[in-house]
Amino acid sequence: MTTAAIPSAKILQQKDFLSITDISGEKITKLLKLAEQIKATHSLGEQYKPLQGKTLGMIFEKSSTRTRVSFEVGMLQLGGHALFLSSNDIQLGRGETVSDTAKVLSQYVDGIMIRTFEHEKVTELAAEASIPVINGLTDLSHPCQAMADLLTIHEIKGTLKGLKMAYVGDGNNMAHSLMMACAKTGMDFAVGCPEGYEPNSQVVELAKEAAEQSGCKSEVFRDPKDAVKNADIIYSDVWTSMGQEAENEVRLRAFKDYQINSELVKYAKEDYIFLHCLPAHREEEVTAEIIDGPHSAVFHQAGNRLHAQKAILVDLMA
């Protein structure tokens, strides 16, 4: 039986994991390699517990399936422990300042993961804490999901550089993290979105600059067919995210021509893969035929949340 190499516990030497914008392409590549090593070690049933005795505090102001389970299981498998801290159960939800929360938790735990709304809350928490802080999701950014996506693409395609990802739908936190991740790893990236739902203009400019340095392209299109043309990966997300429920009817009308279906995927390469960060609304942003079809890798992708995040945890906390 082949024995997996025991991963190195020190790769990035970086205190926090807040945004793909903060991380170089080289560091992303090293983290992905670490994730692959950890995944191989786990698949062979070998013990790898560099976080023995360590505790991760997990603050949730947004509900979650994949983020909570993958971080909690990841800490357990790495030898550590995770604490679920709902905003309804801690004083942050009753008016305690982010600064005070950061300083108090720094006395108790070895790292903090937070899933919340305002990105500024995460950056303030990181600035005030003396321990690593991980962004589990904000309205601006979803870097842990993007790392799992890159890991999935690399495993299926064998490379990242030179591929093209097409993201169709709302220019949201997922679009932001993916466009930066592609730009920094040499992947072309194209967004197809309706007017009024474009990605953040600052993120778009940063992605274009990073793409130029990596020798690839980062573009925004109005017509989804232009975005999907010759794509190796097609990516979609829900049209109405948490906190936008009041806009649902308006959004359904705005995005009706941006569904991933059998007609749209004809513009992609024949061996394209379909990704979705989940949860998915079948027959809205994607038809069941596509998400449950042979090109879909959404559950492979969801499983890689565990392995990508284990690499982040090891790097920051080991």
pLDDT digits (tens, 9 = 90+) for 196-240: 999 999 999 999 999 999 999 999 999 999 999 999 999 999 999
C-alpha–C-alpha distance, residues 18 and 12, integer Å: 13
Same domain, 204 and 284: yes
Please report whether residue 185 resides in a domain. yes
What are the pLDDT digits (tens) for 174-192?
Answer: 999 999 999 999 999 999 9
List pLDDT tens digits, range 253-271. Answer: 999 999 999 999 999 999 9
Strands 111-115 and 133-137: parallel
160 and 287 assigned to the same domain? yes
**Same-domain pairing of 158 and 134:** no
Q: Chain-centre distance of CA 302, in angstroms?
A: 10
- Whether residue 15 lies inside any domain: the answer is no
145 is in an annotated binding site: yes
CATH number of the structural domain spanning residue 88 = 3.40.50.1370
In a domain, 8, yes or no: no
Determine the Cα–Cα distance for residues 262 and 293; give it in Å rounded to an integer: 10
Residue 41 in any domain: the answer is: yes
Q: Is 278 annotated as a binding residue?
A: yes
CA distance 119 to 95: 18
Q: Which amino acid is at 244?
A: Q
Domain containing residue 66:
20-142+305-317
Query: In this structure, is the dihedral angle defined by the CA atoms of residues 287, 293, 297 and 298, taken in order, positive or negative?
Result: positive
Q: Is the pLDDT confidence value at 26 over 50? A: yes
Q: Is 92 annotated as a binding residue?
A: no
Range from 78-87, 220-229, 242-251 carrying the lowest mean pLDDT: 242-251
Whether residue 252 is annotated as binding a ligand: the answer is no
In a domain, 57, yes or no: yes
Reply yes or no: is the peptide bond before residue 143 cis, omega within 30 of 0: no
The residues annotated with a catalytic role in the active site are: 115, 142, 145, 237, 277, 305
Note whether 291 and 272 are same-domain residues: yes
Calculate the average pLDDT of the chain.
Answer: 94
Chain centroid to CA 45: how far? Answer: 26
For residues 136 and 114, the answer to whether their CB atoms sit within 8 Å is yes
Question: Are residues 167 and 238 both part of a single domain?
Answer: yes
Which tens digits make up the pLDDT trace of 87-146?
A: 888 988 788 999 999 999 999 999 999 999 999 999 999 999 999 999 999 999 999 999
One domain for residues 197 and 187: yes
Residue 1 has pLDDT above 70, yes or no: no
- The answer on 131 and 227 residing in a single domain is no
Q: Is 176 annotated as a binding residue?
A: no
Torsion of CA 106, 26, 24, 210, to 10 degrees: -160
Chain center to CA of 295: 20
Give the number of domains in the chain. 2
